[in-house]
Amino acid sequence: MENTSQVPVTVLTGFLGAGKTTLLNRILTEQHGRKYAVIVNEFGEQGIDNDLVVDADEEVFEMNNGCICCTVRGDLIRILSGLMKRADKLDAIIVETTGLADPAPVAQTFFVDQDVADRTKLDAIVTVADAVHLSSQLVDHHEAEEQIAFADVILLNKVELVEDNDIVKVNDRIRKINPFAKIIKTTRCDAPLDEIVGLNAFSLDRVLDIEPDFLESDHDHEHDDDVTSLSFVSDTPLDMDKFQDWFGNLLRTKGQDILRSKGILNFKGEEERYVFQGVHMLMDASPMGPWPKGKDRSSRVVFIGRDLDNMNLKEGFDNCKSA
Amino acid sequence: MNADLETLQESNKTELERRGSIFNIGAPATEAVTIRDQIAVGFGDGTVRFFQSGSDPKTVKAHKGVVLSMTNYEDHVLTGGEDGRFLKISSDGNIDEIFNFGSKWVDCVASHKDTKVCSSGKTVYIWTKNKDKPQTLEHQSTVAGLAFDNKGKRLAVSRYGGVTVWKLNNNKWTASNFTWKGSHGTVTFSPDTKYIVTAMQENQIHGWRINDKADLAMRGYPSKIKSFTWVGDTPYLVTSGSSDAVCWPFDGKEGPMGRKPIVVANGGKELATFVKALNGEKAVFTGFTDGSVLLAEIDESKKPIMIRSSTGSEVSTIAISSDNSQILIGDMKGSILLSSLWADN
């Protein structure tokens, strides 16, 4: 599956005013010796004028295959296939989405469209959050929650304007929604670019980096609409058939509410670790080499989504344990 | 070791490769059109090069970034680029900028006689003779394909959710919508103008009979259809996207409805990426993902002829000179084969 000629694509989300344009201007103007193209939205913030910028329309298309999760960004398919015809090879492509856009169709485009998947790969979803306003945005806009939930990296920006104990509060709030994203606290998005671009966060072997610490507890939450995460660990090996039945059915029936899922699995009778990660009902899975010697062979799964409590996830996962 | 390899490659060359010329441009060939005895090719480095048998190609630095779309227009070519420019270019290198859309791409171009058309975003712009200002046609989503019928009276515009067919009456364009869920790309009228057909974002093509808007869904492809061409008097719509050239018959009242396509030019493990009719014959050139090209009659009992051997890069364009004497084949690595089609040429 790994293809070195695939150009990595970073998806940049965040509300208007959080600092996306500051970050894009840095990416376009800093002397980093790399060639990036930036796809911006026509309704986005003003102030970027550069040959490497492409205007997009953020057109979300439903495929006609009847799968409700197969909404893709049609404009992205068109623009990425155009960019792939360039004579000079790009080191990376950055796609900016508007504040009110759901990041799922962008991510799904890389799963659904074969031409896009052949030539580019989703590198990471990076969300710029405004440390001053994030808490109130999370209350008022479900898009803000989704942007936090989908993220691999969260730039908690404008921290210089917030008291230390308030930063701790915002940090905890983010962690409730998304336990595995890397949070970088910044002033004017001043994080090193190599912590934002070229992360390979969607490569399956990066799932192995899931920190077990985050996987211990069930989080309490306020109402069913909230995006939360749930995680489970098992030291008993899992039954592969039972797991596939349960998980396949779960994604088929509840995939709309499960925003992201990741896991490392220990199947009975299998020497190799199995790794998966999904966006809604689309999933990528593969064996990922033998278990490291001297380490516990424990299965770990994490779900981020809405209404997770009504999916009987714990019961379903426990039923997959081999007898 | 090297010498051995070269000898091997030499012996694997096809007849057309032996007598033709090969040019390595180094940027993907994106489009090719024929203007009289020349073939103009657009590339991913923004150049348009005019190829002619017996001489080196003439290079015109047209766009900054990819040449996205191209068509012929009188003795010129019209091109649309990633740099937002819509250009008219002559083979001696004169560039006339028709319009500059800035950071918006010019995705599609079309022409009929003295009418020049392009699309950028959701809008189609039409320049008619002696008028500086274009007429504009608006659509609900980005335009992904443009095609005139053979009289230039109707213009098909493909987009998300179907095709808008615009009809010209007394200098006014009126719209008729053909609806089918999904995203529609390249569009074409059948030669008798009874059907319109689109290549979809899914692995299928979709057609409509124009008079009653009856739908035709042609499915079962393992990959996207990037290219189609009308072949012969039947005619057949020959499509890429499969390991063969898939040929749908469009004769009779019902066209391909309820009928099976003819499949020719089997590429084995390779998928067809570009198809081009041989003018006046019931035969088609089919280019594949590995760069090879086969010439096949639309007859399953006949064996195809190998025209170009594998280059390791998918065939992205094929053009035939207007007198049927020369063929040009281009691929995504920018390798161009220009060769005479007939041995005594």
Q: Are A32 and A159 within one domain? A: yes
Q: Are A273 and A140 within one domain? A: no
Quick one: closest CA in A to B68, which residue? A82
Nearest to A86 among B66, B103, B200 (CB): B66
Q: Are A218 and A284 within one domain? A: yes
Within 8 A of A113 by CB-CB distance, chain B residues are 201
Predicted confidence (pLDDT) per residue in B154-208, tens digit: 999 999 999 999 999 988 999 999 999 889 999 999 999 999 999 998 899 999 9
pLDDT (average), residues B232-239: 96
Within 8 A of A62 by CB-CB distance, chain B residues are 181-182
- Give A200: exposed, middle or buried? Use CB within 10 Å, 0-12, 13-18, 19+: middle
Predicted confidence (pLDDT) per residue in B75-128, tens digit: 999 999 999 999 999 989 999 999 999 888 999 999 999 999 999 999 999 999
Within 8 A of A51 by CB-CB distance, chain B residues are 64-65
ipTM over 0.95: no
Q: Where does a domain end: A147, A178, A202?
A: A202
Nearest to B44 among A53, A77, A85 (CB): A85
For chain A, the residues whose C-beta falls within 8 A of a C-beta of chain B are 51, 53-55, 57, 59, 61-65, 72, 74-75, 77-79, 82-83, 85-88, 113-115
A1 lies in a domain?
no
Q: Are A195 and A222 within one domain? A: no
Q: Which domain holds residue A302?
A: 205-319
Q: In CATH, what number is assigned to the domain containing residue A302?
A: 3.30.1220.10
Predicted confidence (pLDDT) per residue in B290-340, tens digit: 999 999 999 999 999 999 999 999 999 999 999 999 999 999 999 999 999
pLDDT (average), residues B271-288: 96
Q: Are A63 and A193 within one domain? A: yes
The answer, yes or no, to whether the previous bond of B235 is cis (omega within 30 of 0) is yes
Q: Where does a domain end: A202, A226, A244?
A: A202
Number of independent structural domains in chain A: 2
For chain B, the residues whose C-beta falls within 8 A of a C-beta of chain A are 26-28, 30, 43-46, 64-66, 68, 82, 103-105, 107, 121-122, 141-142, 144, 160, 180-183, 200-202, 223-224, 332, 334
Contact (CB<8Å) B122/A57: yes
Q: Are A75 and A96 within one domain? A: yes
Q: Are A87 and A130 within one domain? A: yes
For residue A259, give the nearest of A106, A113, A97, A115 by alpha carbon. A106
Predicted confidence (pLDDT) per residue in A178-226, tens digit: 988 899 999 999 999 999 998 888 877 777 666 544 444 444 444 446 8
Q: Are A301 and A274 within one domain? A: yes
Token digits of residue B142: 């980005």
Look up the pTM and report it: 0.87
Three-state DSSP state, A75: helix
Contact (CB<8Å) B103/A54: yes
Within 8 A of A44 by CB-CB distance, chain B residues are none
A53 lies in a domain?
yes
Within 8 A of B183 by CB-CB distance, chain A residues are 61, 74, 77
Q: Where does a domain end: A158, A174, A202?
A: A202
Nearest to B182 among A63, A85, A115 (CB): A63
Tell how strand A92-96 and strand A7-14 pair up.
parallel
Q: Are A130 and A195 within one domain? A: yes
Whole-angstrom Cα distance, residue B241 to residue A161? Answer: 56
Q: What are phi and psi of B239, to 5 degrees?
A: -125, 150
Contact (CB<8Å) A63/B28: no
Q: Are A190 and A228 within one domain? A: no
Q: In CATH, what number is assigned to the domain containing residue A126?
A: 3.40.50.300
pLDDT (average), residues A264-277: 91
A244 lies in a domain?
yes
Contact (CB<8Å) A83/B66: yes
pLDDT band at A46 (very low <50, low <70, confident <90, very high): low
Nearest to B28 among A53, A61, A85 (CB): A85
Closest chain A C-alpha to B234 CA, distance in angstroms = 31
Whole-angstrom Cα distance, residue A167 to residue A51? Answer: 37
Q: Is the model's pLDDT at B5 over the cut of 60?
A: no
- Model pLDDT, residue A47: 55
Quick one: closest CA in A to B332, which residue? A85
Task: Write the CA distances from B282 to A35, B190, B196, integer angstroms.
Answer: 47, 16, 21
* Cβ-based contacts under 8 A for chains A and B: 76
A2 lies in a domain?
no
pLDDT (average), residues A282-310: 87
pLDDT band at A49 (very low <50, low <70, confident <90, very high): low
Contact (CB<8Å) A74/B30: no
Q: Is the model's pLDDT at B2 over the cut of 80?
A: no
Contact (CB<8Å) B65/A55: no
Predicted confidence (pLDDT) per residue in A72-94, tens digit: 888 889 999 999 999 888 999 99
Within 8 A of B141 by CB-CB distance, chain A residues are 57, 59, 74
Closest chain A C-alpha to B160 CA, distance in angstroms = 7
Contact (CB<8Å) B183/A79: no
The DSSP 8-state label assigned to residue A3 in this structure reads -
Continuous H helices in B232-302? none
**Helical axes A164-177 vs A142-150, angle rounded to 10°:** 80
Instruction: Please give the mean pLDDT across all residues of chain B.
Output: 93
A229 lies in a domain?
yes
Q: Are A169 and A240 within one domain? A: no
Closest chain B C-alpha to A87 CA, distance in angstroms = 5
Q: Are A128 and A258 within one domain? A: no
A97 lies in a domain?
yes
A135 lies in a domain?
yes
DSSP result, B127-184: E-TT-SSPEEEE-SS---EEEE-TTSSEEEEEEEEEEEEEEEETTEEEEEEEEEEEEE
- Model pLDDT, residue B285: 98
